[in-house]
Amino acid sequence: MQSIFKGKHFISLQDWSRDEIDTLLEVSLDLKKSFAMGVPTPYLSYKTIFLMFFEQSTRTRNSMEAGIAQLGGHGTFLDTSTMQIAHGEVAKDTAVILSRYGHGIGCRNCCWGAGNKYIRELAKWSTVPVFNLQCDLYHPMQGAADLMTIREKIGDLRGTRVSIIWAYAASHKKPISVPLTQVLLFPRYGMDVTLAYPEGYDLPDWGVKQAGVNAGAHGGTVTVTHNMEEAYRDAHIVIPKNWGSWVTNQSDEVQGELLESNKSWKCTEELMKLADKDVMYMHALPADRNNEVEDSVIDGPMSIVYDEAENRLHTAKAVMTLTMGGK
């Protein structure tokens, strides 16, 4: 099937077909090999991408900035608190102007109920591709890197048992974008997905329903449980990670009582023993060590978190190459 990537927005992987995602993974692997061999890949020479961040970032910012440099282009980091957005400039005006200056616009905006809408408004007015660098609903850059990593480790993903498990964290009320992206994406590759969380930490009903539809179309399954041990049992991959109770309570404030009552949802060596003997531990990072996960797990032989983070670079470069360059 022919796909036109040039100019395509990258806001949710749900907007990309299986064939398009497969091509994205192939290009990512190609770029990874070139990087390892020191072969230059100047596919985006003299092209500029603007990288707008409403929130902090380590991996996303640096994989995009290093990535565009390795492709021969330039990335402009924009802390939105220093832009006229802070004085109320609207998404339309920002998108039109940045489109005239460069070749791509990336944006992270995780504000609940507003982030995805803001990025889609940018895309509505932009004449260059818009990249979601994480919003309140989706983190497609992370999802692509996760899929690439699992494929590298396992190969054919059909029948792979992957458990997306809520975990306790003490820092801040984190978005649901990583687990929602994963639960939508993995069943499209025939994986058997278990989504486990304590009562009150639901993902949106429409998301879980769509995940089931994705599973039905591609031979995967989606199981929802509030039993943490059930999620670890016999899993090939576990992804224990915190997310906020946004669906049941839209306040920015952490719900202290609900959170503290679920402190036992921590990935431990004992729980990992319930999983498959070759189980792999994944986390998008940053991890809240000793709250979400014991050091002995994240630093242990089952952990593939650094391989997963490394693939952020190659998938980011592939997304930019296909949509900002190419045919």
Q: Which is nearer to ligand CP, 80 or 142 (CB)?
A: 142
Query: Count of H helices and E strands in the chain?
Result: 12, 9
Q: Is 88 helix (H, G, I), strand (E, B) or coil?
A: coil
The CB-of-103 to ligand CP minimum distance in angstroms stands at: 22
Site for ligand CP in 167-226 (CB under 6 A): none
Contact between 58 and ligand CP per CB under 6 A: yes
The answer to whether residues 246 and 172 touch, using CB atoms and an 8 Å cutoff, is: no
Site for ligand CP in 257-276 (CB under 6 A): none
Residue showing tokens 């997304």:
319
Question: What mask, x for binding ligand CP by CB under 6 A, covers residues 3 to 22?
Answer: --------------------
Contact between 34 and ligand CP per CB under 6 A: no
**Sequence-ordered list of residues with C-beta below 8 angstroms from that of 169, at least 6 positions apart, any chain:** 242, 288, 291, 292
Adjacency order of strands within the sheet including 130-135: 74-79, 48-53, 104-109, 130-135
Residue choice 28, 60, 149, 323 for contact with ligand CP (CB under 6 A): 60
- Interacting span for ligand CP (CB under 6 A) from 56-64, 93-101, 109-117, 209-217: 56-64
Site for ligand CP in 123-162 (CB under 6 A): 134, 142
The per-residue DSSP string of 58-71 comes to SHHHHHHHHHHHHT
Q: Which is nearer to ligand CP, 63 or 214 (CB)?
A: 63
The CB-of-112 to ligand CP minimum distance in angstroms stands at: 16
The CB-of-273 to ligand CP minimum distance in angstroms stands at: 27
Q: Which two tokens stand for residue 180?
A: 């929602």
Residue choice 59, 236, 266, 314 for contact with ligand CP (CB under 6 A): 59
In the DSSP assignment, the letter for residue 46 is T
The answer to whether residues 65 and 51 touch, using CB atoms and an 8 Å cutoff, is: yes
Q: Which of 131, 6, 103, 130 lies closest to 47, judged by CA? A: 103
Q: Which residue is nearest to ligand CP (CB)?
A: 60
Q: Cα separation of 221 and 208, whole Å?
A: 11
Contact between 285 and ligand CP per CB under 6 A: yes
The CB-of-255 to ligand CP minimum distance in angstroms stands at: 22
Q: Which is nearer to ligand CP, 57 or 249 (CB)?
A: 57
Contact between 57 and ligand CP per CB under 6 A: yes
Q: Which of 227, 178, 169, 163 lies closest to 198, judged by CA? A: 227
Q: Which is nearer to ligand CP, 181 or 245 (CB)?
A: 181
Q: Which is nearer to ligand CP, 69 or 217 (CB)?
A: 69
Contact between 311 and ligand CP per CB under 6 A: no
Q: Which is nearer to ligand CP, 58 or 251 (CB)?
A: 58
Q: How many residues bind ligand CP (CB under 6 A)?
A: 9
Residue showing tokens 């072969």:
39
Upper half-sphere CA count for residue 120 (Cβ side, 13 Å):
11
The answer to whether residues 109 and 115 touch, using CB atoms and an 8 Å cutoff, is: yes
The CB-of-204 to ligand CP minimum distance in angstroms stands at: 20
Q: Which is nearer to ligand CP, 258 or 285 (CB)?
A: 285
Question: Residue 279 is which amino acid?
Answer: V
**Sequence-ordered list of residues with C-beta below 8 angstroms from that of 46, at least 6 positions apart, any chain:** 72, 73, 74
Contact between 249 and ligand CP per CB under 6 A: no
Long-range contacts, stretch 36-40, CB < 8 angstroms, 24+ apart = 40/72
Q: Which is nearer to ligand CP, 215 or 280 (CB)?
A: 280
Task: Report the interface residues with ligand CP, using CB under 6 A.
Answer: 57-60, 134, 142, 284-286
